[in-house]
Structure formats: C-alpha cells, structure tokens
Amino acid sequence: MSSSIPQVQVAEHSVGRMGYGLMQLTWNPKPPAEEDSFKAMKAAADAGATCWSTATFYGPDFANIKLIANFFKKYPEYKEKIVLVVKGGQDYTTIAPKSDDIDFLRSDVNKTQEILGDKKIDVYSVARLPHGVSVEEVFNNLETLRKEGLYNAVAASEMGVESLKKAHAITPIAVIEIEVSLFSYEQKIRDVVEWSKENKVPIFAYSPLGRGFLTRTYKSPEDIPEGDFKKSVPRFQGEAFYENLKLVDRLDEIASKKGVNTSQLALAWIIGLSGYTIPIPGSSNPKRAEENTVAANIKLSPEENKTISDILDTFEIKGTRYPGAMMDHLKELCSLISMDTVSVHINAINKYWTNADVEQHSRLLSLLIE
C-alpha cells in the first residue's frame, strides 16, 4: 500500500491529505456489489487515502460499518493503516439526532465496535446536534465516552465557529466535517476554515465535487434521475442549472491549461485552502477513486488560486440549495433560535417531509449528512 501523497495529523495518526467518503457505497437506492466496493476502497487506500469517513446510519442495520468490517476481513493488512472517522448519534429509522442521550451514544458505539471486531474506532462524532440541546451537553457526553475508552478522539460535524469553540474547550477536536467545494464556499464555511487553520484542527471536506455538478455528471436537468432529490433543488433546475454550468465552464478552462481534469482541480483547490483541509470524495469506481486521491499532489500556483478566487467572488450561484418551502422553514427556524444554521437542517427536514415516503426522506437526508 502506497502513501505517496502529502500527509497531515488526525488523532495522532499521519494520514493522506485526501480522504475517502464511503456513504454512497451503502446509502444508495442501488448500492454497488460488495466486491465492486472493495475494489474502489482498495484503490483509494493504495493511492494514499488512509482516512475514511463512515457512519452508523449509512444504510440499514449498520450497512456501511459491516462493509468496512468485511473489507478488513478480506484485506487484514489494511486494518492498521486506515484511520476510521465514524459518525453516529442518529436514530436508525428517522435519522433524527439523539446525541443528547448518552445511553444511545454508548450503544451506538458499542454496536459499531462489535461489528468492527479488533479494529478500534479512531474518531467518533455525532452527525448533528438535536434542536434545543446545547453544544456543551453533547460534547460532555462524547468526552465521557472517550474517557471510557470507547474511541480515541472526538470529531465535530456541521458546526460553526462559536459552537466549535465551545466543543474544543471540552475535548480536543480531532477533525471537523463540513461541506466545502467550489460550488459551496459561503462565508460561514470560510470562517470555519480559518478557525481550523488557527487551531491546527483538520477539516474533512465532504461533497468536494458539488454533488456531481463540478464533474459534469449531469449535462442537463433531464440527466438527473427521477426520484433523485436534486430534481427538486432550484440550483439544479431549468435556467439556473445552465447558468451554474458557466462556473464549471470557467473551471474547465483553468484545469485544461493546468493539464488536469476539473475534479482534480477542485480537490487541489480545497487542499490549498490551508495545511489542514482534507477532501473526502467518494466513488465506487476504482479508477476514479485513485484519480481523486492523487490530486493531492497537484499544487496550484498563486496566479491560478487568484483566478479561482476572483471567479468565486464574482460568480453568483443561481438557485437555492433546497426547495422553496424548505428554505422558508429553515429561515423561520433560524430566525427564532440562536444556533448554527446547519444544526437545524435535520429538524427542518423531518418536519418538511412528514408525509413523504421513507425512500424519498432517506434521499433528502443523504444530501445533508455525509
């Protein structure tokens, strides 16, 4: 197994500056066959992606955790080389946050460890904070379980700077998981990147390729499959879709001059934001997994970075991230409570989709919990 990409410290382990997200391997209407997943997992690890992001709720009955356990059974030589960052604290049916319940968290961790066997959980985090529950309560729970020896370190997920300060005062945060991409780099994300740099806390950047938009997975709104939640998202609809493709056109030009593809450019840009950013692209394609990982070796020049920054500062993404009714509900929630916007997403979703079928609800949640 090679480790030929730049490294960074996560929970006292040296890991590659490109990670690997496993969500789509099991939390997917049509997940790949286990053997196909193994090929992609192995390709990512061999290329240097040694820090993996998983969750207890990525599919039914701990499906993602079981996939990893089966991988280690087949390839035991990888067991000690991979650092596992496990998210949990979500109800297995509704995916609602339960991180205020320390008994649930303890059970969540113990079930995960039982499946993994002698592969210790390196880092554990809760995916979201429950509405109305303080940061202090949740992270005191996490620190209690860490002291019990259930895992080695604590991570944070989808939290703003003020919440991170509170959490970090209770237990050293090993890694922060937030969405970062050329398609999603609002001020609140920039603030977290700056805080992580100042405090030398790595960032797990999920959805680093804009949920497939930056890779031109979709060339028109019609390419988005029926039943895919993105079909109802304004920025993926109609004229907004084509206007937003102009951003990809401009990035394509920079990538072409650089001699790389746009996906690699996008990943290299994230790595260049600071010495602590770790993109975690996911792929079930071994060639793509390797291609993504080796992008960690691509360095952008000051001129290239300035060109990209100028584009981001002047290009206006058309359309919101969520459907109108959900956006209205999110704004209502955020105007009533003093907490990070992202901390209320799950509550908004559960209310918004009260009458939706389970599959539709799951697809929406999968966009928000990575």
User: Secondary structure of 152-164 in the HEC alphabet?
Assistant: CEEEEECCCHHHH
Q: Select from 140, 181, 139 the least CA-distant residue to 159.
A: 139
Asked if the structure places residue 237 within a domain, the reply is no
Based on the structure, what is the number of domains in the chain? Answer: 1
Q: Are strands 203-206 and 153-157 parallel, antiparallel or unpaired?
A: unpaired
Element (H, E) at 278: strand 277-279
Give every residue of the chain whose pLDDT is below 50, as ranges: 329-370
Element (H, E) at 125: strand 123-126
Residue written as tokens 């390729």? 209
Asked if the structure places residue 211 within a domain, the reply is yes
Element (H, E) at 114: helix 102-116
Range of the domain at 178: 7-221+260-299
Q: Are strands 13-16 and 7-10 parallel, antiparallel or unpaired?
A: antiparallel
- Kindly give, in sequence order, each residue whose CB lies less than 8 Å from that of residue 186, ignoring residues fewer than 6 positions away: none
Assign residue 69 the CATH number of its domain: 3.20.20.100
Asked if the structure places residue 320 within a domain, the reply is no
- Kindly give, in sequence order, each residue whose CB lies less than 8 Å from that of residue 86, ignoring residues fewer than 6 positions away: 54, 55, 56, 65, 109, 112, 121, 123, 124, 125, 151
Residue written as tokens 């001129």? 303
pLDDT per position as a tens digit, 83-136: 999 999 999 888 889 999 999 999 999 999 999 999 999 999 999 998 899 999
pLDDT per position as a tens digit, 143-194: 999 999 999 999 999 999 999 999 999 999 999 999 999 988 989 999 999 9
Q: Select from 169, 170, 193, 173 the least CA-distant residue to 181.
A: 193
Asked if the structure places residue 101 within a domain, the reply is yes
Chain Cα centroid distance, residue 299: 23
pLDDT of residue 95: 85
Asked if the structure places residue 173 within a domain, the reply is yes
Asked if the structure places residue 63 within a domain, the reply is yes
pLDDT of residue 317: 85
Asked if the structure places residue 201 within a domain, the reply is yes
Catalytic (active-site) positions: 58
Asked if the structure places residue 100 within a domain, the reply is yes
Measured CA to CA in angstroms, residue 68 lies from 89, 116, 367 at distances of 19, 8, 21
